[in-house]
Structures are given as structure tokens and as C-alpha cells.
Homo-oligomer: A and B are copies of this chain.
Amino acid sequence: MTPGGGPDDGLWLEDVEEGARYTTAEHEVTEDEVLSFARDFDPQAAHLDAAAARGTFFGGLVASGWHTAAISMRLNVTSGMPLANGWIGGHIEADWPTPTLVGDLLRVELAVREVRPSRSKPDRGMVVVDYETLNQHGEVRQRTTAHLLVFRRPEPTVG
């Protein structure tokens, strides 16, 4: 692990290329985890109970959108764009075009939209990424834009 908390061979600001693309590993969504996340963070009928969910707008059990967001984060930090200082998000925008279902095999596909060095702080910059969370049928469960704080490679300390 680097001093920043990311992978040893991770990317610093000068290593990130506009247009670069990353695809994560996959994560299978289970009913247990949908219910567990709902109990902890989004206790609404559509996420809490398969029978009660039938009477809702969704017509059946669906994962909380925030659960999809959290799974996407896990995929990004464990098998997505490997930032040396880890993923430090400052601003995000997200849509949930379709709800995540039990049995979905989720992956994240990411593209670097922009690398924007800071004008005032020469040791860092902002990386803007667009990513989609998709299931095994290519259905988009979440569409996200994230602004990430990324540092330049630290200067070696001279004793």
C-alpha cells in the first residue's frame, strides 16, 4: 500500500490519461445483502421484503439505489482505476435508470473524462470520471460522474 492508501503500483495525477478506460470485476447481488442493506440504511417496502415490495412502484424486490452506489464503490476501489492515493471523492452526480435486482452480476465500466491540475495547489488535481454500473445483460443500473482528488507523485525526501 502506498503512503496515500492506494495500491503500490497505483496511478498518480501525472499517470492518469484522459480517455483511459477501466472495467472492474463482477459482484453478484444476493437477496440477503439487499435485505441487510435495506434494514441498515433504506428501510422501505421495496427493499425490505419481497412480498411487500409487490405492492410498490417497483412491483417487486429491488436494491436501494444507495446499495448499488456502495457496491459500485467497492468494485471501483478493489478492481477499478487503481489510484495511488485511493479514491477521494469530492462531488458526484448519479442516476439510477433501472433498479438493481437480486441475481444481478454487477460490474463498473469507467472512462476518464478530464484531468484538471489545480492552479493553486501544485501537488494535486481533479480527475473527472464517468462510470456505469451494468449487469450481465448490459442493463445500466447506475450512471455516475465523480470528481476525484488525485495527488502528484510525492517528491523523494532528501535527507
| Residue ranges of A at the interface with B (Cβ–Cβ < 8 Å) | 1, 3-6, 37, 40-46, 52-53, 55-57, 64-66, 69-71, 73-74, 77-78, 85-96, 149, 151
In the bound complex, do residue A73 and residue B5 qualify as a contact, i.e. CB atoms below 8 Å apart? Answer: no
Q: Whose C-beta in chain B lies nearest to the C-beta of A89?
A: B65
In angstroms, how far is the closest chain B Cβ from the Cβ of A49? 10
How many copies of this protein are present in the complex?
2
Give complex CA distance A87, B43 in Å.
10
In the bound complex, do residue B69 and residue A66 qualify as a contact, i.e. CB atoms below 8 Å apart? Answer: yes
Q: A52-B5, A57-B4, A85-B57 are in contact. Are A42 and B90 (CB under 8 A)?
A: no
In the bound complex, do residue B44 and residue A77 qualify as a contact, i.e. CB atoms below 8 Å apart? Answer: yes
Give complex CA distance A43, B91 in Å.
19
In the bound complex, do residue A41 and residue B73 qualify as a contact, i.e. CB atoms below 8 Å apart? Answer: yes
In the bound complex, do residue A86 and residue B45 qualify as a contact, i.e. CB atoms below 8 Å apart? Answer: yes
In the bound complex, do residue A5 and residue B56 qualify as a contact, i.e. CB atoms below 8 Å apart? Answer: yes
Give complex CA distance A71, B53 in Å.
22
Give complex CA distance A78, B71 in Å.
23
The 27 sampled A-B contact pairs (Cβ below 8 Å) are: A1-B45, A4-B56, A4-B57, A5-B45, A5-B46, A5-B52, A5-B55, A5-B56, A37-B70, A40-B70, A40-B74, A42-B74, A44-B77, A44-B86, A44-B87, A57-B88, A57-B151, A66-B66, A66-B69, A66-B73, A89-B96, A90-B96, A91-B93, A91-B95, A92-B92, A92-B93, A93-B94
Q: Whose C-beta in chain B lies nearest to the C-beta of A44?
A: B86
